[in-house]
Structure 1
Amino acid sequence: MAEKKHFAPSAVGGALQDSIQYRGRKASRAKSEHRRRRILEAALDIAAREGVRGIKHRPVARAAGVPLASTTYYFRDIEELIRDAFMLFAEKANEDLEDFYGHLNALIDVALAQGKLHSDAGRSDIAGNLADYIAGYFGEQLRNYQSTILTEQVFLAEAMREPSLEGLAREYRRAWLNGVEQMLVRLGTANPRRDAALLISVVSGMGYDGLLFRDKFSPQFFRETLERVLSLLLDVRSAVESDYRELESSGTLE
């Protein structure tokens, strides 16, 4: 496998950043901007607890600690408030994306410098190191930032019903997909785009398990599953042969 071009992390979320366009009244002073942001943060907190149906002017004003008139001053109607709240969510998520893929690319930089792509053992190490970081990152999200994950799901579900959010939701998902694809291009997998979709599906599905089963969710199982998928994508011989043996013993290959 030949070494691939390094993609700067800033390429990951560029389109997403361009899609973030607030529609509410702009704040001209720092104090006013702080108040506007508190309103949007309060709306996101309510979305995580109650879904979009819980976002109403009075509960949002109460949660933000501002006069009720402030919500109607900054936002023309509740739809504009909801839309701008998810714009804020996407803006913060974009910053997280840059950091997440920056760390992954740093791990890949080290692996490429050490020539690890050129041996089965080296690719196995890469799979393990990436699995460690990804599992650790999402494990921390599940432990300490469950409201963020819930808000993400509310946002994506609402985008299926609300055309004004659809474009932003698409760019949000595309930013995740592009980042993983660029990482896998550097690692020389057989079909980086499809491989990226597979890896994201695995992580997303196990993230749902983490929310649903909480106390019974096993971070170690999560990490081992990630390592196995990454090993298969990187054509680590031991993982491929293990799958073949399982198919053979089950009679699938007969």
Structure 2
Amino acid sequence: MTAIQYQGRKTRRAGSEQRRQAILEAALTIIVREGIRSVRHRAVAKEADVPLSATTYYFKDISDLIADAFTLFAERAMADVIEPFRQQAFALMESFSADDLKDPAQLERLLKGLSEMTAGFIINEVTQRRGHLIAEQAFLQEAVLDKRLSDLADLYLRQQMMLLEGACTLLGSEHPRMDAELILSTMMTLEQRLLVHPENALMEFVQPRMHNLFSKLLAHAHG
């Protein structure tokens, strides 16, 4: 799978597309609030304030509705979460030259900037976009059971891996893909942990952990 693809009935009119989007957003709301097993045509129709016949018209199969809800989630996450972070991170990294990073003081400046930026991103996800993280966890878990979602999850994670691999390459990593995997797994583990313990969603908790990770990666690249 190389592009995001929707499963349900396609629409040709703007009004129809708005109703279809409302149905998918209602499904995501239910997933975040009650869990994926609560997604039923009647519940979604009530949440979206549309006739029951509308949900069954666009999505005869409830699995298609769930798949398309997660497709909408992934599409928005890539545009609204991943891409802005990529722009911010690359702007920071590109402000340092290779010669700059030979200077321990400059290297530490970059380390501090990257760890604070990444920690801020994680904290914002937990405190301001909690629903996004819950939907992501549900999406990745459901992908274990649904082949269509596993392909979409692979694409979603691959987009993030490409961002991080590019960053690791820019930082001079000898093994950018493996370093990218380590960063992504660390971030996702921290996010999952903070969903359970939001009282730890603080800069003094998250930043040292990201600093520790980045310092090891950069020390190896510039040691």
Normalising by the smaller structure, the TM-score range is over 0.9
**AA partner of residue 187 (structure 1):** L
Alpha carbons 2:41, 2:62 under 8 Å: kept: yes
Q: Which residue of 2 aligns with 1:182?
A: 166
- Of 80, 87, 91, the residue aligned with 1:102 is 87
**SS, match of residue 110 in structure 1:** coil
Alignment of 1:116-127 (within 5 A): 116-127=100-111
Q: Which residue of 2 aligns with 1:164?
A: 148
TM-score using structure 2 length? 0.93
User: Does 2:208 align with 1:230?
Assistant: no
**SS, match of residue 96 in structure 2:** helix
Give the aligned CA root-mean-square deviation in angstroms. Answer: 1.8
- Of 203, 212, 215, the residue aligned with 1:219 is 203
- The percent of aligned pairs where both chains have the same amino acid is 38
Alpha carbons 2:123, 2:202 under 8 Å: kept: no
Q: Which residue of 1 aligns with 2:63?
A: 79
**SS, match of residue 197 in structure 2:** helix
Alpha carbons 2:126, 2:201 under 8 Å: kept: no
List gaps (5 residues or longer) in structure 1: 1-14, 241-254
**SS, match of residue 148 in structure 1:** helix
**Which aligned segments of 4 or more residues in structure 1 are displaced greater than 4 angstroms?**
none
Q: Aligned-pair distance for 1:74?
A: 1.0
Q: Which residue of 2 aligns with 1:69?
A: 53
**AA partner of residue 124 (structure 1):** E
Q: Aligned-pair distance for 1:236?
A: 7.6
Say which one has the larger Rg.
1
Q: How many corresponding residue pairs?
A: 221
TM-score using structure 1 length? 0.82
Alignment of 1:12-91 (within 5 A): 18-91=2-75
Ranked by relative contact order (alpha carbons within 8 Å, sequence separation 6 or more), the top structure is 1
Q: Aligned-pair distance for 1:100?
A: 1.2
